[in-house]
Structure 1
Amino acid sequence: MPRTVNMSDEMMAMAEQEIVVSSRSLADQIEHWARIGRAIEESPSFDYQRVKAALTASIPYDDLNSAEKTVYLDEMDELSWAEPSAEEKAFYAKLTGPGLDENGKIIYPDDPDPT
């Protein structure tokens, strides 16, 4: 049964470029990439759990094999563009110390009521 999936414009552009070379439909190309990704993740020489462990600094990056390092770097790239969570924003606010609100008033990260 066909389903609709939202994808980034960048991914769609890459898939559209590839269909010219591969002679696949857009849907077939994306399914092809999904099958390859699944096969890699299930490969005995690739362990996505190790990649996740490296992303959380549970194991060193240097302990990953070359395929795992490639996926690690792709994941890090995506994470670097992600909007920080509320918890991350609060954490970084504490690291940076006092700041200014939209009216120019000094606010302190530990102040529960900055008004």
Structure 2
Amino acid sequence: MLTDSDRYQLLKALEHNPNLSQRQLASELGYSLGKLNYCLKALMDKGWVKAENFRTNQNKTAYLYQLTPAGITEKARVTRRFLQRKVEEHQQIEQEIEALKQEVAQQTP
């Protein structure tokens, strides 16, 4: 199952550099090649990414991964969800830090 984080990272990377090879993309995202292949297939099955073979490229296995209009819309949705989650995490961390500061202040003679 593709998490919002995976979806966001992959859609963002493909939007910025659609001509990366799967190996390069996996390395950039810190994914195994198998995980990246699974994620790309899931995005293509949803119609959010399409793969086009470079016809003029000597390496006939090279593909250009492009976001479809539906993929661009999904990237906007997942970006909003990802941002909201990060904001909530940030607020939680701020609360934890404040609680720790109070604990330290109470323990300090």
- Of Structure 1 and Structure 2, which has the larger fraction of its residues in helix? 2
TM-score, normalized by length of structure 1? 0.26
TM-score, normalized by length of structure 2? 0.27
Structure number with the bigger relative contact order (C-alpha 8 A, sep ≥ 6) is: 2
- Of Structure 1 and Structure 2, which has the larger fraction of its residues in strand? 2
